[in-house]
Structure 1
Amino acid sequence: MRNVWNSCVYIVILQFVFVSVALSNTLTVDEAGNVLAETERYLARFENGVLTHFHNKLTQETYTQGDLQGNTEMKAWGRGLRTKNLVPGEIKKHSPLECQLIYQDSWSAPRNNEVMLHLFIGIDAETGDLLIRQTGFSNMGGIERIMWGFSNLSETSVDVIAPVLGGLILTQSDTYHYPVKWQTPLVILQGHRGGCFIRSDDTQYRFKSLEYRPEGESFFINFWEVPFAPFEQAKEITTATWRLNAYQGDWQVPALHHRQWMHEVLKPIDRTEMPAWVNDIELMIIHSNVDVDILAPLSRLVDPEQTLIHMHQWRHGGHDADLPNHGPDAVKPEFADFVKEAHRYGFKVTAHISMLGVSEYHPLYAEFEIYQIRDPNTGRKRGWAWDDLTDPYRHAFINPASRAYRQMFVDKVRSVWDRYQVDGFDLDISYKIENDNNGRIDGLTMAEGNILLHQELREAIPGIALGGEEINDVTFLHESYAYISRIPPTEQPHPISSFLFSPYTKLCGRSIPNPDRRPDEYQKYFPEYDVWDILLTIRVIDHLDFAPHRVEIHKLLELARERQNYRFGDINGDGTVNILDLTLVSQQIGTLNPSNRRVDVNKDGVVNILNLVIVANAFE
């Protein structure tokens, strides 16, 4: 199955459309707690609280032809209550289409602790979705997670497509945590003629995990939900509702359904509400050396107005040193001239900035240490290289749920913009949303604080474009572009994440090497970046990268020109440089700062004989 769907293009063949239905749905439960749910689309069976059988009636495909068992359980104080070892103590039928199975156990440690797991299984009368919801109780607290399992799945029957790590067909045994690695809570089981989807309708960004465990040709999937830390206080957990259904056709059918839900419920900022220039960008240049000499040759090789320059090392000592100092003393003196010159040519410039980082030696650390993120299991402080006291870039991660931290950060970013007028800011580690053992801060979870920080930045600097590291349900709401990392060579990329997020956020390459200086390493990025349709991203070290012998970078720049429909000296944009372009320049001779920026070919602010010469020399 695994090579069939990887080559799919973004054309949705709606062989099956999700519509409201009034069908003959049935749900039955026997004395042992085994549940049978049936609609005109599927037949599903639960045994001992675990989904063990799923048949797609639309395509006559059964996806549970394996023999590997998943788990439905609740874990507290390091011990698990597993339904497969118990018979429900009570079974309730709340309505013809919903039942409740109640499992109970008593543990000696902690002393006299009683735990209960309530499993709700139902059918949505309108959509026909199979509904799964859980509630867990522990009278001594300590709840760590609650989950349900999907067993007996077969790799010969389905591919597991998931928006994890940029988009994968799952092949490796692993657990992916939402929202850091599992970008949005959706899983698609794609068969030969149709499939089954599993998705959550959560709007509170609760912590979840997708556990994929293969063995031979069989596999199971467990879906976790984790309470907000600290776990010691967690005596009860109620999950969001998981929705399952069958479909006929391609994986894009359920993906489009989920994307529409994201749009309507999560309400991301549409690209039309972002700076207009973002839509025009066809090339990302990553540059670290603040070398103003790259601008003139680059402006002749690509269209500046469709090119964004990402400035990585614009501060002294590296981008992770002396955080959050972004004052004039922390910035390389040539940065101001670089931004001014880049704008003169028509380039857009974005500055890399750490969103959560505070260096331990910075005076502000004493103020914000109380908000430093702590591991939910150990309570230890979190940060970059936090356990390595010798790392010069070691810094703490501060939870943006703190109102005081957000205000400080927004003020500092605004001061950078006031001085340099950059077009955007790239928020480093924006994707890092952890289950902070500090609990809620100022009444907010870390996800809610992350969203507010993005929103407050956009309000403080109207028209600014925000970028981020990686992408997920939280960050895509306000980010115009995101930098996506490559995956290990053992993983199989899939365009599911691009399909879900690209209508809102442009996806760019991250940590990509220079193609001529490190050609072997650069080639490793192509397999997934091609599948994911990543924006063309080129790392430029200095102006020497444009020398004629830098063959690989010139190949990429030629590709950029094709995508930008750009020819240097093509004033009227018809794809060729000829007498018509020369005429347009001659008509503007003597004009200062012309409205048609293209007639000022050398970007010196005035149209003169030099521009005529440049265009004439570019004749084809």
Structure 2
Amino acid sequence: MIRLTDKGLMIRSKTTVAEFEGIRLVSLKDAVTGEEFLDRSLAEGVPGFQLYHQNGKASPLGTHPLASQVHYTLLTERIAEIVLNDWECDLSVRVSVDEENGDILLEPSAWTMQGGVAGLGMSLAGVRQDLQVVAPFQQGARAPLNHPQMAHKVADWPANWEAGFLVLAGRESGFTAQAWDERFIYKGVRLGHEQNPQVVTLVTYAHGPLEMNRCVGNLCWRLSAYRGDWTIPVRRYRDWYWRAYRLEEAARLRPDWLEEIKLTISWCPTNLALLDELARRINPRQVFIHLPNWRPYKYDQDYPTYVADEAGRAFLLKARAMGYHVAPHTNTCQMSPDHPFFFQARDFCTRSPLDMRWGGWSWLPVKGWGSFGPPQSYSLMPARKDWNILVNVHLAWSPWRRQLTRQVADLIRDLGLDAIFVDVSQWIHNSDNSLLENLTYAEGSLKLIRELVDLAPGFCVSGEGRNEISTQFLSLTQFHLYNFAHVHAIDGQDVSWVEECTEPVNELLFKGLARGIGYHYGQGANRRHMIEATLKQGAIPTLIFQTDDPVSELDGAECRYLLERALS
């Protein structure tokens, strides 16, 4: 039921009570117990909505002393509209109640005379300090909003916010915000506002290009209270997700041997003796191997050409004959700018919708190098092959997908492959050319992985990261841990926090679809923290060798520990 109040709207469902004053959500309660989840004293100075611009500016809405007029219209007892006429834009929020499950539905839209509209944020301000964020951030994280690793986090769907929900959890109760969206609308979450950490902002993004874009909206956010632990709202989201994308059908496409895998090797060298030595310790049919250097080219160069060199062919043929499952490394979306195919692909590469920079990768031999995109100059882009410069191609462009599927089909016939690894599969994003051939990048990503799966019965496609788009057809994925902990570990920074912040959210969400490959780096205590956090996330015990003598490493403490975990 929805009713007008002296200051705004009161919305009551069988689970939740919400109250708006002006354009701000000021109260969110459990409808049965009356428990309040928002503390007004922690919400001062936070606007109810913000308009995000292409140039990076964020305009607070509803705060102008004269030009912020709010109107409420009650359409039925369970549908209402809030309209804001603001200096920066006009805003409408459709408010309704889902009678079946008790969710309060908020669907904001904004429109303006100015171009460059990038997104619209809705703030949940004054979140109680004892509530912790539980969210699908890089496999799953849990921490208070003011935790150093959670404060002021920005995560965009689905690359870093891997499914469209988050939970604010107390001991035995809390609330959740969810977007049951199957239309591939780009969205995000921003934690904190200026100096106030107790704010969650839910963002709807506009598809690029943005220069002339003047509106954004049509994404519905669901708010509801719950009682119990954090798994209750996550299971609700899982139920919707599996129904919406018909994932029972997708799960049946997995290889029969997937659940038999007890050990994985990531970044495995083409060492033939390793295959023999490992077979003395574990059944090869229970081992999955990711093989990065199997081509006659350096790693991350000359994409998309996928042919085996002599050492790669010998390793693959021997491993397959022994029963190992081996996935040669390829790349989902990135190509070398000196590759012959670049001439055709260059007009279909992705650029950031904000600053129009080309997307991609580079790796420079500079300690602490953090700008991983390609150079933007005409002179350096094609010239520095030694920097592993790569550019991103839009996955909705079908000629790119045909390049990869054609070559993988040849490898299956030539080498008897039962698996392939597609790098950068997690990097699904908005772009300046958001729609190509009538599809978004997210839809193109989903289509590519399905097209690879279809190349052979039970063919295993593995990749990097796990999110609610790519995971629909990936069978094994490398697990990036929260806040890219592996990068900090490699740089020698303390990552002891990673175990504390780790919560297996995605394991609950994606169990039955994609299993995990470890992604642990660093040295000493850092490396141990990474291993334990990855195992906590549900990953298969994974060997990552640190020297040029992997056979000797098998007798080391780390390998023995992981083999014991694999065989236990």
TM-score under structure 2 length normalisation: 0.86
Take 1:549 and 1:280, find their aligned partners in 2: how far apart are those partners?
A: 24
SS at match of 2:567: helix
Contact 2:261 2:285 in 1 (8 A): yes
Instruction: Specify the code of the residue in structure 2 equivalent to 1:545.
Output: V
SS at match of 1:369: helix
Give the match for residue 471 of structure 2. Answer: 476
The whole-number CA distance in structure 1 between the counterparts of 2:26 and 2:345 is: 49
Report 1:24-39 matches (<5 A).
26-30=1-5, 32=7, 34-39=8-13
Q: What CA distance in whole angstroms lies between the structure 2 residues aligned with 1:373 and 1:349?
A: 31
- 1:376 offset after TM fit, Å? 0.4
The Cα of 1:84 is off from its aligned counterpart by: 4.0
Give the residue type in structure 2 aligned to 1:159. Q
CA distance in 2, matches of 1:535, 1:297: 20
Using the TM superposition, give the Cα deviation of residue 168 of structure 1 relative to its aligned residue in structure 2, in angstroms.
0.9
Which residue does 1:47 correspond to in 2?
Answer: 21
Aligned to 1:267: 246
Residues 52-131 of structure 1: matches in 2 within 5 Å? 52-65=26-39, 66-68=41-43, 69=46, 71-76=48-53, 78=57, 80=59, 82-85=61-64, 87-106=68-87, 115-131=89-105
> Are residues 265 and 313 of structure 1, via their aligned partners in 2, closer, same or farther at CA, if it must alter by over 3 Å?
same
User: Structure 2 residue aligned with 1:439, among 422, 434, 437?
Assistant: 434
Q: Residues 74 and 145 of structure 1 are in contact (CA less than 8 Å); yes or no, is this contact kept in structure 2?
A: yes
Q: Deviations over 1:410-453 (max 9, x none)?
A: 11222222222222111100111121102311111101111111
The whole-number CA distance in structure 1 between the counterparts of 2:156 and 2:561 is: 38
Q: 1:409 — aligned with what?
A: 404
1: CA distance, partners of 2:35 / 2:5? 25
Residue 261 (structure 2) aligns with? 281
Q: Judge conservation of contact 1:48–1:87 (CA < 8 Å) in 2.
A: no
Aligned to 2:184, the other structure's residue is in SS state: coil
Q: 2:324 is matched with which residue?
A: 347
Q: Aligned partners of 2:290, 2:53: CA distance in 1, in Å?
A: 46
| 1:506-585 map, 5 Å | 506-510=515-519, 512=521, 518-540=523-545, 544-546=550-552, 550-562=556-568
Q: Does 2:301 align with 1:321? A: yes
Q: Report what 1:503 is aligned to.
A: 512
Distance verdict in 2 for CA 1:106–1:286, change over 3 Å: closer
SS at match of 1:184: coil
| Residues in 2 aligned to 1:451 and 1:479: alpha-carbon distance in whole angstroms | 10
Q: Which moved more, 1:256-265 or 1:526-535?
A: 526-535
* 1: CA distance, partners of 2:196 / 2:399: 52
Q: Secondary structure at the match of 2:347?
A: helix
**Mapped partners of 1:289, 1:520: distance in 2:** 25
Amino acid at match of 1:275: P
CA displacement, residues 71-100 of structure 1 (integer Å, 9 cap, x when unaligned): 313334646250244644532212111211
Moved more, 61-70 or 293-302: 61-70
Q: Is the CA contact 1:288–1:314 (under 8 Å) kept in the aligned structure 2?
A: no
- Residue 285 of structure 2 is matched in structure 1 by 305
User: Which amino acid in 2 is paired with 1:428?
Assistant: D
The one-letter code sitting in structure 2 at the alignment partner of 1:505 is: A
Answer yes or no: is the 8 Å Cα contact 2:81–2:93 preserved in 1: yes
In the alignment, structure 1 residue 295 sits paired with structure 2 residue 275: yes
| Number of residues of Structure 1 aligned to a counterpart in Structure 2 | 521
Identity, in percent, stands at 20
Structure 2 CA distance for partners of 1:319 and 1:414, relative to 1, 3 Å: farther
Distance 1:374 1:266, change over 3 A: same
SS at match of 1:449: helix
What is the aligned partner in structure 2 of residue 169 from structure 1?
142
What's 1:592 paired with? Answer: none
Aligned partner of residue 540 in structure 2, secondary structure? coil
Query: Would the aligned equivalents of 2:179 and 2:221 in 1 still touch at CA under 8 Å?
Result: yes
Whether the 8 Å contact between 2:253 and 2:458 is mirrored in structure 1 is no
Between 345-354 and 380-389, the greater mean CA deviation after superposition: 380-389
Aligned-partner SS, 1:379: coil
The correspondence for 1:138, drawn from 102, 109, 112, is 112
Residue 187 of structure 1 corresponds to 166
1:217–1:60: structure 2 CA closer, same or farther, 3 Å change rule? farther
Q: CA deviation at 1:406?
A: 1.2
User: Highest CA radius of gyration, 1 or 2?
Assistant: 1
Given that 1:466 and 1:478 are in contact with CA atoms closer than 8 Å, whether structure 2 keeps it comes out as: yes
Asked if structure 1 preserves the Cα contact closer than 8 Å seen for 2:266 and 2:517, the reply is: no
Q: Does 1:361 align with 2:309?
A: no
Residues 194, 312 of structure 1: alpha-carbon distance in 2 compared, 3 angstrom cutoff: same
How far 1:379 sits from its partner (Å)? 1.2
Query: TM-score, normalised on structure 1?
Result: 0.79
Could you report, residue by residue, the CA deviation over 1:527-561 in whole angstroms, capped at 9, with x for unpaired residues? 42233122111124566534685233123222222
Q: Is the 8 A contact 1:271 1:279 kept in 2?
A: no
Specify the code of the residue in structure 2 equivalent to 1:43.
Answer: V
After TM superposition, give the deviation of residue 153 of structure 1 in Å.
0.9
Give RMSD over aligned pairs: 2.3
| 1:333/1:222 CA distance change after superposition, 3 Å | same
1: CA distance, partners of 2:166 / 2:565: 34
In structure 1, distance between residues paired with 2:95 and 2:543: 50
> Which amino acid letter does the alignment assign opposite residue 165 of structure 1?
Q
Where does structure 1 lack aligned partners over 5 or more consecutive residues? 1-25, 108-114, 563-620
TM-superposed deviation, 1:361: 0.8
Distance 1:521 1:159, change over 3 A: closer
Q: Distance in 1 between matches of 2:217 and 2:2?
A: 22
Q: Secondary structure of 2:450's partner? A: helix
Task: Determine the C-alpha separation between the residues in 2 that align with 1:270 and 1:410.
Answer: 19
Partner letter of residue 163 of structure 1?
A: P
Cα offsets for 1:362-399 (capped at 9, x unmatched): 11111100111111011121111212844431111101
- Kept after mapping to 1: 8 A contact 2:23/2:84: no
Are 2:133 and 2:166, in contact at CA under 8 Å, matched by a contact in 1?
Answer: yes
Distance of aligned partners of 1:76 and 1:400 in 2 relative to their CA distance in 1, 3 Å threshold: same
Counterpart amino acid of 2:138? L
CA offsets 1:286-313 (integer angstroms, 9 cap, x no match): 2432011101110110121111111111
1:519 Cα deviation from its structure 2 partner? 4.2
Q: Which runs of 5+ in 2 are unaligned?
A: 363-373, 486-494
209-218 or 374-383, which deviates more: 209-218
Change (3 A) 1:72 1:455: same
Deviations 1:560-581 (A, max 9, x none): 222xxxxxxxxxxxxxxxxxxx
Give a deviation string over 1:560-616, Cα, whole Å, max 9, x none.
Answer: 222xxxxxxxxxxxxxxxxxxxxxxxxxxxxxxxxxxxxxxxxxxxxxxxxxxxxxx
Provide the secondary structure at the position in 2 that maps to 1:524: helix
